[in-house]
């Protein structure tokens, strides 16, 4: 695969980075990423992934734009209220990078359709606001051996982690949260509130981690959870220990 003159110009600031270069940019251009949710986290993540030259983006979101989304979901404007998020997202990303291959699925992701909706991408980025859905996505990615970048926000906090739970000594998302809770009884941003800019921090960081996995720059981040506290403000990173009894990855470990 050779880069065209337009691509050399468009992605010049990537290519000049020795950690990425032309080969890393080619990996980005050849990659397919599935993004769960086009909301607060998905909106900035999708913009940075599209701008970075990710070749194909599949986006899953069955929601419509509402007025209370606009405080943090920066892909949308007032005129978009009432429209489907997938339609608006496709239009916005096409303006940003017309070479992007975009596929939008306005469907609700469930355990029954997760494999069909996610497909066979190089990476999944999960920015949904539903805890039960995050577990469904994590379990599928572990089974299918698809790298997962998972991001969540609430109030003044953001959490971003990369998971490769099928690998020896690397945890899945379920290793972090465990099983001793009711996934359907977890508060969302509508109940807890969230500072709008936290969505930008989480989405941008998630896009960074997705590009790290694909282009292969820097240190491997799988198994680390980055926690940003907007009140202090500070960021800390913890290493998640793989749970050998985990119902998501305990029996999936391989090479």
With 0.85 as the threshold, say if the pTM is over it: yes
Average pLDDT, the chain: 93
Backbone angles phi, psi at 105, to 5 degrees: -120, 110
Say whether 189 is catalytic.
Answer: yes
Residue 249 domain-assigned (yes or no): no
* Residues whose CB is less than 8 angstroms from the CB of residue 18 and which lie 6 or more positions away in sequence, other chains included: none
pLDDT class for 192, splitting at 50, 70, 90? confident
At 181 the pLDDT is: 60
Residues 6+ away with beta carbon under 8 Å from 130:
188
Model confidence at 37, pLDDT cuts 50, 70, 90, reads very high
pLDDT at 59: 98
pLDDT at 45: 98
User: How many other C-beta atoms are found inside a 10 Å radius of the C-beta of residue 13?
Assistant: 8
Task: Give the residue numbers spanning the domain of 186.
Answer: 13-239
Which pair of tokens denotes residue 57? 């983006």
Judge whether 255 lies within some domain: no
In a domain, 206, yes or no: yes
Whether residue 233 has a cis bond before it, omega within 30° of 0: yes
In a domain, 125, yes or no: yes
166/223 Cα distance (integer angstroms): 12
Q: Are 75 and 43 in contact (CB under 8 A)?
A: yes
Count of domains observed in the chain: 1
* Residue 139 belongs to some domain of the structure: yes
User: What integer is the mean pLDDT of 215-239?
Assistant: 95
Confidence bin at 178 (pLDDT 50/70/90): confident
Residue 189 lies in a domain: yes
Contact 71, 25 (CB under 8 A): no
Output the six-digit token pair for 209. Answer: 């981690």
Give the CATH number, domain containing residue 221: 3.40.50.720
pLDDT of 56-101, one tens digit each?
Answer: 999 999 999 999 999 999 999 999 999 999 999 999 999 999 999 9
Catalytically annotated residue among 128, 172, 175, 189: 189
How many residues are there in the chain? 255
């Amino acid at each position: 695969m050779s880069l065209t003159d337009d691509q050399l110009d468009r992605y010049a600031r990537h290519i000049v980075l020795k950690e990425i270069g032309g080969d890393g940019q080619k990996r980005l251009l050849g990659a397919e990423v599935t993004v769960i949710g086009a909301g607060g986290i998905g909106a900035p993540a999708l913009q940075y992934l599209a701008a970075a030259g990710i070749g194909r983006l599949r986006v899953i979101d069955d929601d419509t734009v509402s007025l209370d989304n606009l405080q943090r979901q920066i892909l949308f404007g007032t005129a978009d209220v009432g429209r489907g998020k997938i339609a608006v997202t496709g239009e916005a990303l096409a303006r940003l990078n017309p070479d992007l291959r975009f596929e939008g699925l306005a469907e609700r992701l469930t355990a029954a359709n997760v494999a069909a909706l996610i497909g066979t991408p190089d990476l999944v980025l999960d920015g949904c606001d539903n805890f039960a859905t995050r577990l469904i996505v994590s379990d599928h990615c572990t089974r299918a051996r698809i790298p997962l970048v998972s991001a969540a926000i609430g109030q003044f906090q953001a959490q971003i982690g990369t998971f490769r739970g099928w690998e020896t000594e690397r945890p899945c998302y379920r290793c972090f949260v465990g099983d001793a809770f009711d996934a359907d009884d977890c508060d969302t941003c509508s109940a807890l509130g969230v500072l709008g800019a936290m969505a930008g921090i989480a989405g941008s960081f998630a896009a960074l981690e997705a590009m790290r996995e694909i282009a292969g720059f820097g240190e491997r981040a799988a198994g680390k959870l980055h926690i940003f506290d907007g009140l202090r403000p500070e960021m800390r990173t913890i290493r998640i220990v793989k749970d050998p009894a985990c119902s998501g990855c305990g029996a999936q470990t391989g090479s």
